[in-house]
Every structure is written in structure tokens, then in C-alpha cells.
């Protein structure tokens, strides 16, 4: 069989003069079994030559190697393998989008949680308190107090109907003091506060008690 296969290989490989090739083909034609082998080999060669060559995926070798049977590792080994084994990542859009969303969520949560840790306004989970002031002639009204470290531009009230200015602020339970800042200059005590406390400088701050 080895000898006959050698004849077939010689014919299909080419590289011989026509007379020698003719002689070998005659030998093949004379032997039915040899002819079958020759035909099947020739068809296979033709298919290889004329067929579409599909490109192998980048992970082809990796996939093949992983399909080879091997000893099943323990849990530790599997975790170690998952974490440290070299791999070729083939992302699809859904996986990539999911990963991006998780990463974005992590960044958003981290940044939101980090916003102004010492401002009660931003800590969340508090009680919504609505504060208003009747000031029909005012151009701008803000509220400054212990909840925003007396910033005069952090909490600006919105002008509503009938000259009322209003703002809703989320606050954690506790006692706060505050004053209104009208038109960026005049500090005005809330005339309807439930209590007042000296500000230490000769004025009275309104007291706001937020309870759960």
C-alpha cells in the first residue's frame, strides 16, 4: 500500500516528465483499488485547491487546546485558572455594553457618593423641607444656613405666584439655623420660624428642627 500511495503522490505532486507520468497513470488505471485511492485523493486535493479558505479565529488554537481532555482541577484551581489563564477575548456588543454600563454605574455612584460629604443637602435619605418667604419686590432670594455652610448662592429660592419664594431642600434629621439672603445683600430672618437663636453677631437666625 505504501508503494502504491507513493505512486499516487508522485502523480499528484507533479514534477515528472510526461512519459513517466503517463506510465504511472497506466499503472493506476490497471489497478481498480489504486484508481479509487487516486480518485479520492485527487478530489480531496481539488477541493483543497478550489475550496474557500475560511480564516481561523484568533482563539482557534486556544479553543482547540482547551477541548483537549485533561484532569479536572479543584475549585481553587478553577478560580486561579479563571483569573490568571491567558485568554483571547471575543466581545460582542451586548457583553461590551454590559461591562461599560457597570463601569459607568460604578463611577456615577462613586462620584455621587463623594459629593460634598460635609453638606447635609447632598447626603440623601433625609426629609424634604420646604422653605418660603414672601418677598414680592425681591429680585433674588437665597437661603443660607448651617446645612450649606452659609453659602449665599447654593440654595436659591424659586419665585412663585403672589410674591412667594420657595425652595425644597432634603435635610437629615437635626437642628439647623438659617437666614434668607435677599438680592444678594440683605440678610432676613424668617418671620415664621418655630424658634430663633442668636447668631452671635447681633442678629437672630431661624431654627429649623428636622425630625424623622
Partner 1 sequence: MTRGKDRSLLFPFLLALFLVASPVLMPQARAGEQGGQMTGARLAVEQSTLARDEKLLILTAGDRAVAAGVPQDDAAIIISRGLERGAGAGRTAAFLDRAARLREQDLPVRLVLDRIEQGLSKGVPPERIATVVERLSGNLVNARPLVQKMEKAGPAGSGSASEHAIETVARALEKSIPHDAIARIGEQVREQKGSIALFGRAVDTMTTFVGNGMAANDASRLVHTAMDRGYSERDLETMERYMVDELRQNRPVGDVVSGMETRMERGGMRGGMERQGGAGPRGPGSGGSGAGPGMGGRR
Instruction: Give the closest residue to 129 by CA, choosing from 67, 77, 194, 74.
Output: 194
Site for partner 1 in 162-191 (CB under 8 A): 162, 164, 166, 168, 171, 179-180, 187-188, 190-191
Indicate whether 74 belongs to the interface with partner 1 (CB under 8 A): no
Place of cell 456588543: 93
Number of residues that bind partner 1 (CB under 8 A): 69
| Of the residues 102, 124, 158, 184, which one makes contact with partner 1 according to CB under 8 A | 102
Considering the complex, state which of residue 6 and residue 160 has its C-beta at the smaller distance from partner 1: 160
Site for partner 1 in 106-165 (CB under 8 A): 106, 109-111, 113-119, 127-135, 144, 146, 149-152, 162, 164
Considering the complex, state which of residue 40 and residue 61 has its C-beta at the smaller distance from partner 1: 61
Considering the complex, state which of residue 40 and residue 166 has its C-beta at the smaller distance from partner 1: 166
Supply 129's cell numbers.
423641607
Query: What's the CA dihedral at 9, 15, 16, 17 to 10 degrees?
Result: 150
Instruction: Give the closest residue to 178 by CA, choosing from 141, 212, 134.
Output: 141
Helix boundaries (H) for the chain: 2-13, 18-30, 32-50, 60-67, 75-84, 93-114
Considering the complex, state which of residue 46 and residue 149 has its C-beta at the smaller distance from partner 1: 149
**Surface-to-core class of residue 144, CB atoms within 10 Å of its CB (0-12 exposed, 13-18 middle, 19+ buried):** buried
Q: Enumerate the β-bridge partners of residue 174.
A: 210
Cβ(31)–Cβ(4) below 8 Å? yes
| Of the residues 71, 82, 84, 139, which one makes contact with partner 1 according to CB under 8 A | 82
Question: Could you list the residues that contact partner 1 (CB under 8 A)?
Answer: 59, 62-63, 66, 82, 87-91, 95, 98-99, 102, 105-106, 109-111, 113-119, 127-135, 144, 146, 149-152, 162, 164, 166, 168, 171, 179-180, 187-188, 190-201, 203-204, 207-211
Amino acid at each position: 500500500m505504501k508503494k502504491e500511495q507513493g505512486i499516487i503522490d508522485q502523480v499528484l505532486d507533479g514534477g515528472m516528465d510526461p512519459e513517466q507520468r503517463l506510465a504511472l497513470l497506466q499503472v493506476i488505471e490497471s489497478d481498480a483499488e489504486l484508481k479509487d485511492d487516486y480518485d479520492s485523493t485527487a478530489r480531496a486535493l481539488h477541493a483543497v485547491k478550489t475550496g474557500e479558505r475560511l480564516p481561523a479565529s484568533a482563539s482557534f488554537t486556544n479553543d482547540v487546546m482547551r477541548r483537549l481532555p485533561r484532569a479536572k482541577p479543584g475549585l481553587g484551581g478553577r478560580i486561579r485558572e479563571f483569573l490568571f489563564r491567558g485568554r483571547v477575548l471575543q466581545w460582542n456588543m451586548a457583553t461590551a455594553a454590559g461591562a461599560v454600563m457597570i463601569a459607568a454605574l460604578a463611577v456615577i455612584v462613586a462620584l455621587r457618593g463623594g459629593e460634598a460629604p460635609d453638606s447635609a443637602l447632598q447626603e440623601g435619605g433625609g426629609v424634604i423641607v420646604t422653605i418660603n418667604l414672601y418677598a414680592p419686590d425681591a429680585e433674588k432670594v437665597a437661603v443660607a444656613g448651617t446645612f450649606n455652610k452659609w453659602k449665599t448662592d447654593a440654595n436659591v429660592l424659586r419665585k412663585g405666584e403672589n410674591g412667594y419664594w420657595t425652595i425644597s431642600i432634603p435635610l437629615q434629621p437635626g437642628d439647623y439655623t438659617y437666614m434668607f439672603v435677599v438680592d444678594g445683600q440683605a440678610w432676613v430672618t424668617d418671620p415664621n420660624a418655630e424658634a430663633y437663636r442668636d447668631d452671635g453677631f447681633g442678629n437672630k437666625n431661624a431654627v429649623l428642627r428636622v425630625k424623622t
